Amino acid sequence: MLKKSLLALALSVPMFAADKLDTGDTAWMMISTALVLLMTPAGLALFYGGMTRAKNALNTYAMVVGAFVIGFVMWIIAGYSLAFSTNSSATLQNIVGGFDNLFLNGINWNDLSGSYPLLVFIVFQGTFAAITVAIASGSVIERMKYSTWLVFVAIWVVAVYAPIAHMVWGGEGAYLFDAGALDFAGGTVVHMNGGLAGLVLAILVGKRQGLNKVAMKPMSIMLTSLGAAILWFGWFGFNAGSAFGANEIAGLAFLTTSFAPAVAAIVWLLLEYITYKRMTLLGAVSGVVAGLVAITPAAGFVDVMGAFIIGAVGSIVAFYGVVGLKKKLGYDDSLDAFGIHFLAGLWGALAVAFLAVKDNDLLWDGPLKENGDRVAQFLVQLESVVIVGAFTLIGTIIVYYIAAALTGGGRVDKDTETIGLDESVHGESAFEVK
Amino acid sequence: MKKIEAIIKPFKLDDVKEALTDVEISRITISEVKGHGRQQGHTELYRGNEYVVEYLPKVKIEIVVNDEFVEKAIDAIINGAKTGKIGDGKIFVMPVEEVIRIRTGERGNEAV
């Protein structure tokens, strides 16, 4: 069982298999892991917390921290096994791994994943799982019960995230992996997944009281901007770390992960100026995040022009999602997890088919690598977004209802919502201003 | 003895204080308040959502003066606070029954 898992791992790692530990790769993967960890309890928490009304800002931060710690623990307990081990049934292996590595059973401290410790790989992937579920919190700020959220996180990471990660990255026998879907660092697995889960929750939990009537002003755009900067910094670990080595591919990801978001920010500012005659800081950092999301599935596959296009169009798509679509359809995806993460991730995932460089040293197995067939690759990308989308949609609905049932309802009562969750739920306040 | 309350635009506070000092009125209490008269709020924009900010920040000045200083105080406040645009504010004058200085126990005009 262990040998099979290691084999699946070695095959799932898109680099030349090595049995020997490389200290450069190891150091880089360790730093990448730490960078991605920082993205959740610091980056995302500040990004979201700053956009929340003052009376709920601490609760938003707490939802993100809660998502990280519970998500990561569930990853170690069961998530890793279900995502990256091999299921004994070939049919099930298409969708999900097995229970071989429950609580990391069967894994030794000196096992390697390619050229660096397997334990580092496990932790690295765990930070991805945690941030994916944390993304969804932004859609349901200011009204979800904390207990329900924590239970939701615990189940969702295992029941929804792990299978999706398996299907795309899980190695031989995993359906989308075999089909040759290209998702360098998680455009589908993380961003489309988390963003859509957020939308589902937003609809199931319901809109905030007073939406569009009461002014719901962000507590601090500066904290949000600081959060965005930390996300950008950490994203180098997210994308370049997904090269799984200190190598040229990671170097390419450094270029794309810095260039696309910068372009996206400029585009967002221009769109704001055209639409509102005003450029805002929130717009600039929203553009940065949109660009980061859009380049995530493509970070190690495209060149500088590809990054430019992905960043620019990603920004346009996300801008429309936030400013147009949300108003039109009327859902309360409060912090635009769907608008930015899902839509920009979707764009990036599909664009990869046409913008990935035809260089077999960069590409993963698939129609583009084998036959140079971009249309066939596009169809595979399309298939992957549809399958991931459908799995998340259905899975999130089910998990939410279970979590709500276990905690007696997912939404806080009216008075709690009016007073604010910081005081009512946590008995804490974010700032004590004398 | 009269109490004069004035609601003014916050950025005009320094000008008003200077004008009052020029007419030898230097005892003053200020507070930061919110409100509006006939001035509409302004709009703020967050990711495409426009919020009408209804209550605008203002500064309230409170001074208590002997009767002979009332007109001087009013003129000083107007000179300091006026911009000519909507939202300049208002001045209210009301009678004061008694004034006591806590430190010395003085009452009446001497305590003002």
pLDDT in tens, A264-291: 999 999 999 999 999 999 999 999 999 9
Number of domains in chain B: 1
pLDDT at residue A3 above 50? no
Return the closest-CA partner of residue A223 out of A42, A428, A39: A42
pLDDT in tens, B74-94: 999 999 999 999 999 999 999
Band (pLDDT 50/70/90 cuts) for residue A9 is low
pLDDT at residue A13 above 60? no
Closest residue on chain B to A285 (Cα):
B47
Counting one residue from A and one from B, how many pairs have CB atoms under 8 Å apart?
30
pLDDT in tens, A231-276: 999 999 999 999 999 999 999 999 999 999 999 999 999 999 999 9
CB contact under 8 A, A217 and B44: yes
Percent of chain A residues topping a pLDDT of 90: 93
Alpha-carbon gap, residue B41 to A157, rounded angstroms: 45
ipTM exceeding 0.90, yes/no: no
Tokens 């596959």 correspond to A301
Name which of A56-65, A325-334, A338-347, B38-47 the model is least confident about: B38-47
Return the closest-CA partner of residue A238 out of A412, A389, A34: A34
CB contact under 8 A, A280 and B53: no
Looking at the complex, does the CB of residue B43 fall below 8 Å from at least one CB of chain A? Answer: no
pTM reported for the whole predicted model = 0.90
Alpha-carbon gap, residue A7 to A89, rounded angstroms: 16
CA angle A351, A333, A156 (to 5 degrees): 80
Residue B26, Cβ density class (10 Å: 0-12 exposed, 13-18 middle, ≥19 buried): exposed
Which domains, ranges and CATH numbers included, belong to chain A? 2-426 (1.10.3430.10)
pLDDT in tens, A91-140: 999 999 999 999 999 999 999 999 999 999 999 999 999 999 999 999 99
Domain of B31, CATH number, reads 3.30.70.120
> B-chain residues within 8 Å CB-CB of A323?
47-48
Looking at the complex, does the CB of residue B47 fall below 8 Å from at least one CB of chain A? Answer: yes
Band (pLDDT 50/70/90 cuts) for residue A433 is confident
More confident residue, B39 or A21: A21
Domain housing B9: 2-110
